[in-house]
Amino acid sequence: MTVAAEPRRRHVRPRLAWVLSASVVALLAVMIVAVGLGSVSVGPAEVARAALKGLRGDSLQALDRVVWQLRFPRVVLAAVVGAALALAGTVFQGVFRNPLAEPYLIGTASGAGFGAVLVMSLGASVPLLARLGAPLVAFAFALVTVSLVLFLARQGGAVPTVRLILAGVVVGSLFTAGTSFLLVAAREQAAGILSWLLGGFGFSSWHRVGMMALFALPAMLLVGAFARALDLLQLGEEGAALLGLNVERMKLLLLGVATLVTAAAVSVAGVIGFVGLIVPHAARLALGRPHARLLPVAALWGAAFMVLADLLARMVIAPVEVPVGVVTSLVGGPFFLWLLRRRGGPA
């Protein structure tokens, strides 16, 4: 079979197997480098040795301990959070059929931010809040916010997309206003709170990695299983329904899973912008739209991107750490603009 001459480039896609294996190798390389670099740098061989010891549960010496108990969880957490946000972004862009949708669109981040700020500013006078801790309260507020948004957007049995986005924006800005108020009122803690809001992996631990993975892994499997439903949604809600999809139920399921995993990410690492926006976008430009291809690649790229961003965040003006959200925005913004100019418009 011959294919007619094709006037536009990029018709034939790169092979998925090739892209996937290259992405896995790149991610592992980036992670090894990131574990090795820091105030004390170690080579790949020592990284591997510390990892082996840590996994076997051997007693660790000073350097191995730094590598295994501080840097490893930090890098792994960055990878999982990056993968989760990229996955959630892919789902949001797919469900809303809009390349500008991102995981925080329906209020997750503003809710979580408000919860965390509540703990940090009032924790001293309200012991219960302090005992629960910022991550848990942030998670709870994220869910409360999204539930509120869904409740407000409901119309009959359905949740129309435009109402959902409107409700998300309005409820989100209410919580953001609350956050700003607390921030101003908190005065001396304001800098600390702000740096949490902008995201970071300074408080990583294997415990947090476990917490995050608990949400991220099932979410990835579940969303991956419904990749074909995400494809059908690209035909429009009516088009998808005519092919037998229960559109409302699938929308809620996908957005629910994406929101849960986003809330988990926000609660362990703060509000890290741009990853959920640009990574899915870049993956789509490279691989086309079918979600069975898009989802795994976006997750891998999100992981690698976040590990790199965190590495930059702790290296550029070491020993001071830049909030990683600042790095992702500084790197992601221009990259996004470049994509926009190159293609003449988002795909």
290: enclosing H helix or E strand = none
CB nearer to other proteins: pick between 74 and 251: 251
231 binds other proteins per the rule CB under 8 A: yes
Which residue in the block uniquely carries the two structure tokens 């840097």? Answer: 71
How many residues of this chain bind other proteins (CB under 8 A)? 34
Q: Which of 126, 185, 289, 338 binds other proteins (CB under 8 A)?
A: 289
Cα–Cα dist 286/54, whole Å: 37
Q: Which of 164, 211, 219, 245 binds other proteins (CB under 8 A)?
A: 245
11 binds other proteins per the rule CB under 8 A: yes
214 binds other proteins per the rule CB under 8 A: no
DSSP assignment, residue 155? B
Q: Which of 196, 226, 274, 301 binds other proteins (CB under 8 A)?
A: 226
Q: Go through 89-98 and write b for each residue having 16 or more CB atoms within 10 A of its CB, e for each that does not.
A: bbbbbbbbee
Handedness of CA 122, 126, 127, 133 (dihedral sign): negative
CB nearer to other proteins: pick between 139 and 226: 226
158 binds other proteins per the rule CB under 8 A: no
Q: Which of 28, 55, 225, 316 binds other proteins (CB under 8 A)?
A: 225
CB 68 within 8 A of CB 206: no
CB nearer to other proteins: pick between 167 and 250: 250
239 binds other proteins per the rule CB under 8 A: yes
CB nearer to other proteins: pick between 16 and 136: 16
162 binds other proteins per the rule CB under 8 A: no
Neighbours of 231 (CB within 10 A): 18
Q: Which of 241, 252, 253, 315 binds other proteins (CB under 8 A)?
A: 241
Q: How far is CA 93 from CA 96, 294, 331, in A?
A: 5, 12, 21
1 binds other proteins per the rule CB under 8 A: yes
12 binds other proteins per the rule CB under 8 A: yes
- Residue (of 101, 118, 220) closest to 179 by Cα position: 118
